[in-house]
Structure 1
């Protein structure tokens, strides 16, 4: 459908920090540490007609406390500015803050403001956000189960079995701290997968804070290839473009990354280096829906697939879902299945999971609610989040 009334003026912007604090004994544990709470760093905009919309800065799951100050710094550049379309918002912010805000969490916050503007315009028009983003390119998208945390092989394989029972055709689980144990984990989990079920191994930047040497990343990649992985995710530290290229050249399994990249430029460097088979931008990290679409376009032009990273509150889930449903190049969606009541409480309609994928939602905007009751139910709890130790 063609939309003509997309103009907007933002009259207020505020940061909203929320947490779901896990009860003792219910925390999420993995080799990177303990996740005491699931945090969300949201941005709410108010338009001149009173309509509100919500976006999320994805890095807030680890560093939510940094977001309010960034919102304060961005506020003067968007208040009372007339935009013809919400997809102009993040580019406007990038242009006016280029001396100090080129990437990282700052671009994630710029993208959150853009996402919030898309949400608000969709709500005002009474249409799903994907219509504001150009209209549906598909009304269903294949989804894979993402989670696979745990500190024992049994915890990981039990999680995978539950996802298969739920109807997923692909499961993604995380590496262990060292390459040798990760190889053993791969043997253990894949031996239990039913015929026809695919798997992904996520090395989490060559297992997080102490990255494996490239030759060790290659050794794990060769095992993943031997076992038929759908892809091998983040085998190197995020900024190690040469390492990615070396791993890709050495193993016969698709290489993916980098979910935390904060600009289109970061992905262009990886693509120019022939370092990826699967690009994994996240709307909430890379700078908003428009930046995500630019990455997907660049990837498609070089024969590289795009699969979004989706790991946050209901806002992150919805922002990425609506963006990919409006994108011609994205055919697979990450579905985090870890327990997160905050994520679920924000939805105004249930996820329609059918035949191993997600049916396009129908609610206006992102289909997200941010109410005083939700803010009271999930007060921000400092000192938690996804902190890698």
Structure 2
């Protein structure tokens, strides 16, 4: 099972014959992709974006192709997933998790194209006619209540019915009295400015005393959730914090497979899990995580700080999830050429994305645009003063 078997009958996509990677530079971060070709002339794409390690994910994808993909039948998704994970001795971690995820996306793209059906038809079909999304990345600029409030109004005017933001600046561990007041004032200003669902992002940055105080400070503002208030090195304390919380607690974007999620489920750490389709194992794994979440009466709100390709793949993934609630998207803050590079990505209209119709994921990578916008390999430091401006 852990070697490519070329003797079994092959499916309608043929066998994998070539794997390549591409990376696109933007003002915010580089977006990386894997493109898998078969001997039947089909190609499938998946996202392998890492905020800082794009060269590493591309290099590993190429190496994994030689070890586990060339000659394989794309329809053997479970076996390929196991071969990449077990055969490469992955034990979690971001680079390997991202590569497995992107390859898995590309396999579903290939299967959908081979069968001439959208990818979501292969993952449980649809139990909803559209996918609600929330906006993130909209609060670039000065970190003050008035600026956040004005930008929130602008985003809501574009049709979004939910917004997420991090008001805490470069805070880590603790917040000074001044910084805590400033952060809470930002949340208060946004709440006064817009009557939509609001999510506050903690970026796993606070010690227990500060996280606990923030629960009390943020209670008046009717939050849809407070995301990752604690570092995941203290996962057992999430359940303790959650018992005190007047709002739902969410998290899980840092986990890369069911084995890493196990402690989250075992401790009932959150109310809402946030697996990322480009980090947590692709379609094959995220569907299993959703089922486990349902057993624990948890909702699923996938993390997605990636490109419109991951947004599109995530839509396909969540259409059949009964316990899905809402999907993250940064698409509204990206340059127009990003959408030219990932042609066919699903658009956000009035805060929602409709049912896909094209075979597979419906996205094609346009090489010429990638050539015009090479990667920058810049480092976006979440703990540097002014990170929210995203201008470095």
Q: TM-score range by the shorter chain?
A: 0.7 to 0.9
User: Which residue in 2 is equivalent to 1:55?
Assistant: 46
> Does 2:352 align with 1:360?
no
Distance across 1 between alignment mates of 2:344 and 2:368: 17
2:71 and 2:143 mapped to 1: Cα distance?
A: 53
Per-residue CA deviation, residues 195-225 of structure 1 (Å, 9 max, x unaligned), is: xx2211111122xxxxx21110111122222
Per the TM alignment, residue 88 of structure 1 is displaced from its structure 2 partner at its CA by 4.2
Q: Is the 8 A contact 2:219 2:247 kept in 1?
A: yes
Structure 1 counterpart of 2:233, from 235, 239, 255:
239
SS class of match (1:223): helix
Cα distance in 1 for residues equivalent to 2:96 and 2:11:
29
Partner residue of 2:99? 109
Alignment correspondent of 2:364: 369
Report if aligned partners of 2:118, 2:359 keep a CA contact under 8 Å in 1: yes
Aligned to 2:7: none
How many angstroms does 1:87 deviate by? 5.0
Q: Is the 8 A contact 1:6 1:86 kept in 2?
A: no
Higher strand share: 1
Is the counterpart of residue 191 in structure 1 residue 192 in structure 2?
A: yes
Report the alpha carbon displacement of residue 169 of structure 1 after superposing the two structures with TM: 1.6
Find the residue that maps to 1:366 and give its secondary structure.
Answer: coil
Partner SS state of residue 147, structure 2: helix
Aligned length: 362
Separation in structure 2 between the aligned mates of residue 224 and residue 115 of structure 1, nearest angstrom: 38
Q: Is the 8 A contact 2:74 2:110 kept in 1?
A: no
Partner SS state of residue 285, structure 1: coil
Aligned partner of 2:116 among 122, 126, 129: 126
What secondary structure sits across from 1:358 in the alignment? Answer: strand
Q: Unaligned stretches of 5+ in structure 1?
A: 23-36, 207-211
Match of 1:17 among 11, 16, 23: 23
What secondary structure is seen at the aligned counterpart in 1 of 2:30? strand
Partner of 1:222: 216
After TM superposition, list the pairs within 5 Å mapping 1:115-194 onto structure 2. 115-150=105-140, 151-153=142-144, 154-177=146-169, 178=171, 179=175, 180=180, 181-194=182-195
Is 1:340–2:332 an aligned residue pair? no
State the SS of the aligned residue for 1:61. Answer: coil
Residue 41 (1) aligns with residue 32 (2): yes
C-alpha displacement at 1:140, in angstroms? Answer: 0.8
Q: Secondary structure at the match of 2:364?
A: coil
Structure 1 counterpart SS, 2:365: coil
Residues 155 and 167 from structure 1, CA distance in 2 versus in 1: closer, same or farther, beyond 3 angstroms?
Answer: same
The answer (yes or no) to whether the contact 2:35–2:44 under 8 Å persists in 1 is yes
Equivalent in the alignment of 1:303: 297
Distance 1:290 1:186 in 2: 37
- Please say if residues 138 and 155 of structure 2, whose CA atoms lie closer than 8 Å, have aligned partners that are also in contact: no
What is the match of residue 199 of structure 2?
200
What is the alpha-carbon root mean square deviation over aligned residues?
2.3
Cα offsets for 1:255-311 (capped at 9, x unmatched): 000212112222221121121000000110101111111111111100010101111
Q: Distance in 1 between matches of 2:107 and 2:328?
A: 24
Q: Work out the CA distance in 1 between the residues paired with 2:127 and 2:84.
A: 28
On the 8 A contact 2:308/2:345 being kept in 1, the answer is no
Distance 1:299 1:106 in 2: 23
State which drifts further: 111-120 or 68-77. Answer: 68-77
CA distance in 2, matches of 1:142, 1:229: 17
Query: What residue is the counterpart of 1:258 in the other structure?
Result: 252
